[in-house]
Amino acid sequence: MFCHQCEQTARGVACEVSGVCGKNPDVAALQDLLVYGMKGLSIYADKARHVGAAVDDEINLFTLEGLFGTVTNVDFDPARLEGLIKKCYELKERARGIYEKVWKAKKGTEAPKVTEGPAAWVPAADLAGLIRQGEGQGINTFHANEDIRSAIEILTYGVKGMAAYADHAYILGKKDEEIFAFIHKALAATADKSLGLMDFVGLCMECGKANLKTMELLSQGHTERFGHPIPTPVSLGTKAGKAILISGHDLLDLEELLKQTEGKGIFIYTHGEMLPAHGYPGLKKYSHLAGNYGGAWQDQAKEFAQFPGAILMTTNCIQRPADSYTKNMFTSGLVAWPGVQHISNRDFTPVIKRALELPGFPEAPGKQILVGFGHQAVLSVADKVIEAVKGGAIRHFFLIGGCDGAKSGRNYYTEFAEKAPKDTVVLTLACGKYRFNKLDFGDIGGIPRLLDVGQCNDAYSAIQIALALAGAFKVGVNDLPLSMILSWYEQKAVVILLTLLSLGIKNIKLGPSLPAFISPNVLKFLVEQFNIAPISTPEADMKAILG
């Protein structure tokens, strides 16, 4: 195997023996083959659109699910991946049939045959054969030129992240043909040997723009179903009674779990990226949504082992479960681990049954933290914020957010937040907030100095806040007293970065280390065009920003 799609890749180069995330070489090969198959599917879906044919919804949805399944910390189950690969081939052939039928109907001739590459791929008959096929389709086969390969990887990982957000939106009833069309176009392009470096740079920028629309759809899906987040205190203590812990990102899973556990004497606790759920009126109305337990995803081995109830893992962020809690753990949606019971169709009966068998928590009150500062909540007090800036009460804003992780160097974000002067405001989102969100930052004239915007899925809110402030001050975003100090871990962070770059946002500080898949020349381009810089020390970066 050779994988360096996440920030914690071995030695800062690549995982070649086994994945730091927990995937073994067989799983890595199957994921590589699935991506290869998705390129073949996308080639025909893109060709079908070019001749005016409609691509059916099953193909579109599978494209999202297939790509999302290869995002870091999602699907580690060889049997499930085998099923996805075989379905990918079936749908590729369906897309080929759609394309060829419309071509012939419109032009009166047989469509040109594709005889090589992913469009001509046929899967092996068994799992062992699929693994062998996948071993020949790793990232080093993308292109012989290092810089073009780097740009293709950035695009591929961006599309994976975008597919994850689009899948979240899809299950909430939000979809857009332009998003499906771009994903197919982009994946098809990664198999086109005639394209050059700047072609892929352009596609990366287009990916960022398409993802902005995707995140807008997801934001609409969340707020239309659950209401706009409102500032809400969240307990870090426990209530006496049975308990279920829900982690990941899927708010629809949480809503259904809350419905199914009403009146059963079970308290629901959020973990990781589920913390922002407490700010949504449609979710906080459930009295048995008790509070938040634990921190970011990388601490789950310790925290899950100590949790005295059932655990539900939604979407990504799963780690290898310890034997001590495997029987208490369940997965749903696209996330999977061999030996962990998977829940289909949001029927959480097995989770509830296990929770009732386990002891649950004693009463233990804890401190509270504030969540719920989505763009509507922040912009509702925009006049107060603008007045504070003009009056000098607020000197600067820092967006300190992104993915957390276990790799050393991430204490930088804690120290940076702690060193932020008292006349500055910290916006935060995603699980990187767990590095400092339990600290007391106080307020500035009633405006909390720490504003939790939400999940990584809520990056759209942070962008809207920045754009609104820029509009209010009649300047560009790059001229605002705003600095972005971002941490990254996996592919959703990649596509958020592409979205920021597509908006022309510059001077981003990125860490704790730069992606191994960015070649020196591509990095030079990003530095020259956008002034991206790696983090250094909190003291030096703070001094450079505030002068």
Contacts of 394 (CB under 8 A, 6+ apart): 385, 388, 423, 424, 425, 444, 447, 481
Q: Give dist(CA 357, CA 264) in Å, integer.
A: 13
**CATH 3.40.50.2030 residue window(s) in the chain:** 232-357, 372-546
Q: What is the pLDDT of residue 520?
A: 96
DSSP annotation of 320: P
**Do the Cβ atoms of 350 and 257 come closer than 8 Å?**
no
Query: What is the rounded CA–CA span in Å between residue 45 and residue 54?
Result: 9
User: In this structure, which CATH number among 3.40.50.2030, 3.90.78.10, 3.40.50.150, 3.20.20.120 belongs to the domain 372-546?
Assistant: 3.40.50.2030
Helices (H), 20-77: 25-50, 57-68
The pLDDT of residue 379: 92
Query: Are 283 and 312 within 8 A, CB to CB?
Result: no
DSSP 8-class letter at 456: G
Of 217, 281, 214, 218, which is closest to residue 250 (Cα–Cα)? 218
Closest alpha carbon to 290 in 320, 321, 319, 257: 257
**What stretch of H or E contains 425?**
strand 424-429
pLDDT of residue 409: 84
For residue 138, give the nearest of 149, 123, 126 by alpha carbon: 149
Measured over the CA atoms of residue 97, residue 99, residue 105 and residue 109, the dihedral's sign is negative
Range(s) for CATH 1.20.1270.20 in the chain? 10-225
Q: Residue 371: beta bridge partners?
A: 232
- Alpha carbon dihedral 523, 526, 529, 531, in 10-degree steps, equals -100
The pLDDT of residue 406 = 85
Whole-number Cα distances in Å, 439 to 388, 415, 483, 506:
23, 11, 21, 29
Chain segment 492-539, per-residue pLDDT in tens: 999 999 999 999 999 999 999 999 999 999 999 999 999 999 999 999
Residues of the chain with pLDDT under 50: none
Is 370 exposed, middle or buried (CB count within 10 Å of its CB: 0-12, 13-18, 19+)?
middle
The CATH label, of 3.40.50.10090, 3.40.50.800, 1.10.1740.10, 1.20.1270.20, for the domain at 10-225 is 1.20.1270.20
d(CA 505, CA 530): 7
**Rounded distance between C-alpha atoms, residue 37 and residue 17, angstroms:** 24
Question: CB count, 10 Å around CB of 148?
Answer: 21
DSSP annotation of 457 reads: G
Residue located via tokens 């767990």? 434
Q: Evaluate whether 300 touches 406 at the Cβ level (below 8 Å).
A: no
**Do 509 and 423 form a contact (C-beta atoms < 8 A)?**
no
Residue type, 269: Y
Using CA atoms, how far apart are residues 527 and 507, in angstroms rounded to an integer? 9
Per the listing, tokens 């996948």 go with 134
How confident is the model at residue 407, as a pLDDT?
80
CATH fold of 232-357? Rossmann fold (3.40.50)
Which pLDDT does position 291 carry in this prediction? 98
What length does the chain have? 547
Say how far apart CA 489 and CA 6 lie, in whole Å: 5
Question: Cα–chain-centroid distance for residue 302?
Answer: 23
DSSP string, 231-289: -EEEE-SB-SBEEEEEESS-HHHHHHHHHHHTTTTEEEEE-GGGGGGGG-HHHHT-TTE
- Helix ranges (H only) for 171-196 are 177-189
What is the rounded distance in angstroms from the CA atom of residue 111 to the CA atom of residue 9? 43
501 three-class SS:
helix
Residue 264 near residue 356 (C-beta atoms within 8 A): yes
